[in-house]
Structure 1
């Protein structure tokens, strides 16, 4: 195996582990249900997408979810929701940025990524996640009020979460990505 391949694989593993650790630091947003928390675990995956491409970016997200699922989670709904939320935001960001590798392309990617995250998670929460979670935990009120929960909580939460991840990732892109690119050469 080439030295650069080992360096790349090592950095992908480190980013996946950092992503898992950041997933443990969950901050609830005021005025929203406490099960909706923001974490910065998508930022290391963003770094992986920009530095190495979409397959390593997916591997970082997958590693985060795998470690979380094995060590922390007692139910499958949360990790699957986190996986799909990460993908729905970061994949559009990456492919739009790939076409136009400029700051403007990145910002357009973030806008599309936030919209994708909001629409995808609203639909998935309405039809899949909230009913499944309500059935697992036996919370009938969640199932009965799913439309209100999505409109009043899920949509604003995903917009705010997407904005936070986009802003932090933007500063990482400006400050850290150039330094990491020079180290990887």
Structure 2
């Protein structure tokens, strides 16, 4: 009987350690993602308010190693940490949109990879995630983000469009702004984040799966 109790206690302790380590990994990856959000890179073919960061790489690492739910949690914590740093009203709108668009990228990628944990499965998942993010971000910018930002800053949509026209003469209205700025920006973001993830995931996999 004593041996049985001891065995059960050991199993419980092992489960607790696994759960604790999972929380630690999620926290570290979320903090890393939040830090990566601070390093924004302007993109020459888009207006200045579109800036590239590689925070989704850390989220993808967590989602691939711990599943899509962990990816959503890491994305949420990342956004909350970033909101604490930049907690203005417009930042709140932007962070909510970033969360939704981040999930639209990470979740499809993680779901497909979970079913096929090979390099091919990872590439298929990342490609699908990029496509979903590009489509979702286009609709979000067209019908939500750009109108909300225009209202928040009390400026007409045309003023935002003109910011795009300065870098690309083909941008003439909100639709061409999304087509020639939002869409290629998110294609670039998805491609680079996917490339980095594929290159480093296997090297970090032993640590992530410990």
TM-score (norm. length: structure 2): 0.82
User: Is 1:89 matched with 2:105?
Assistant: yes
Unaligned runs of 5+ in 1: none
Alignment partner of 1:23 out of 23, 37, 47: 37
Say which is worse superposed, 83-92 or 49-58, in terms of deviation. Answer: 49-58
User: Contact 2:67/2:111 (CA < 8 Å) preserved in 1?
Assistant: no
Give 1:127 deviation, angstroms.
Answer: 0.7
Q: How many residues align?
A: 182
CA displacement 1:113-166 (0-9 Å, x = unmatched):
111011000011101111111110123123793212101100110100110110
User: Contact 2:62/2:208 (CA < 8 Å) preserved in 1?
Assistant: no
CA displacement 1:66-98 (0-9 Å, x = unmatched):
111122142222111211121111111011111
Unaligned runs of 5+ in 2: 1-12, 162-171
CA–CA distance in structure 1, aligned partners of residues 126 and 24 of structure 2: 27
1:65-80 to structure 2, matched below 5 A, reads: 65-74=79-88, 75=90, 76-80=92-96
1:144-159 to structure 2, matched below 5 A, reads: 145-159=173-187
Partner of 1:132: 148
CA–CA distance in structure 2, aligned partners of residues 156 and 56 of structure 1: 28
1:1-185 to structure 2, matched below 5 A, reads: 2-74=16-88, 75=90, 76-140=92-156, 141=158, 142=160, 145-181=173-209, 184=210
User: Contact 1:73/1:79 (CA < 8 Å) preserved in 2?
Assistant: no
Say which is worse superposed, 86-95 or 1-10, in terms of deviation. Answer: 1-10
> Following superposition, which runs of at least 4 residues in structure 1 exceed 3 angstroms of deviation?
none
Structure of greater Rg: 2
CA–CA distance in structure 2, aligned partners of residues 61 and 71 of structure 1: 16
Q: SS in structure 2 opposite 1:3?
A: helix
Q: SS in structure 2 opposite 1:43?
A: helix
